[in-house]
Amino acid sequence: MKKRKLGKSDLEVSAIGLGCMGMSFSYGPPKNKQEMISLLGAAVERGITFFDTAEVYGPFTNEELVGEALAPFREQVVIATKFGFDLSGTDKRPGAAGLNSQPEYIKKVVEGSRKRLRVETIDLLYQHRVDPGVPIEEVAGPVKELIQQGKVKHFGLSEAGVQTIRRAHAVQPLTALQSEYSLWTRTPEKEVIPTLEELGIGFVPYSPLGKGFLTGKMNENTTFDSSDFRSTLPRFTPEALKANQALIDLLGSIAERKKATPAQIALAWLLAQKPWIVPIPGTTKLNRLDENIGAVGIELTPEDLREIDSAASKITVQGARYPEKLEQMTGR
């Protein structure tokens, strides 16, 4: 497995990471725990060293799963987790009680995450969503203290806007930004990616396969269980799925030529954008894990990339990424 460094930091990880959320949360009922522990072990054996979780996934159960599964490999792996959703109330759904990045709450969350992940030090700690009620300097400051105390190694933000990135970075240098980025979500290209390049911050795209859409396995007849959060997303209505099929046709034609799959081309395209981009596709299946890893070996030539860009620029993606309430939490 090839390695990449996140920005100018010394944090080196596998070129593709593994998003663990779907093992416990969001994509239908939680998966079998023992099967997921085996899958996480298989990922390490195949050279994946970068694993992504969060307190809110479950909540709590995904961190516990990742902690248990990766305990035997602690020295080989980098585990990222996140704080920022308020889980102090009775309704534990993400966003149900809004956000909380108060300094005392951050410290409390970190203690819980360290325990669940079975680690002394959290490798990479992200603010999950920017809290408009707390100036970012009052978030970066406490994280800086946690780094000085040896409880956290690296600081990151998720779905933050460029001004927030600059202000946070001035207090405690950021190692990574995690935001959605793929061939059907290209918003970061305008302002965010140039800012990250300027400041030397790595980029970790989540949903690099468009929450499964870019695998080419969905069409307008695809239905989602009520426990699958895609059932609430505007981009996954039958009309949007049908309209966005043009992207799959594009990926499919290039995949055929490269003897690859649409998912592999979508990941290879991301890897080709910058050497400090590390996508974290999630999966709960071993064959998909192997397919995603295969993307690292696919070389897209400048001509291939120009062809993809030219064709993609003629496709207008239909449907918002999130319902309005969740969309408002991005780009702050």
Active site residue 57: yes
Contact 158, 82 (CB under 8 A): yes
Q: How far, in Å, CA of 131 to CA of 84, rounded?
A: 7
What kind and span of H or E run contains 241? helix 238-243
**For tokens 């050279």, what's the residue?**
47
**For tokens 């240098």, what's the residue?**
173
**For tokens 């479950």, what's the residue?**
58
Fill in the DSSP letter of residue 131.
-
Q: 33-45 and 286-294 helices cross at what angle (nearest 10)?
A: 30
Residue 150, burial from CB neighbour count under 10 angstroms (0-12, 13-18, 19+): exposed
Q: 192-199 and 162-171 helices cross at what angle (nearest 10)?
A: 20
| Active-site option among 27, 57, 105, 126 | 57
Taking residue 313's Cβ as centre, other Cβ atoms within 10 Å add up to 9
**For tokens 């990766």, what's the residue?**
70
Listed residue (77, 12, 25, 35) closest to 275, CA to CA: 12
User: How would you classify the pairing of strands 12-14 and 3-5?
Assistant: antiparallel
Q: How far, in Å, CA of 73 to CA of 295, rounded?
A: 24
Residue-level length of the chain = 332
Contact 23, 36 (CB under 8 A): yes
Q: Around 94, how many Cα atoms within 13 Å sit in the side-chain half-sphere?
A: 19
Q: How far, in Å, CA of 136 to CA of 287, rounded?
A: 41
Catalytic sites, residue numbers: 57
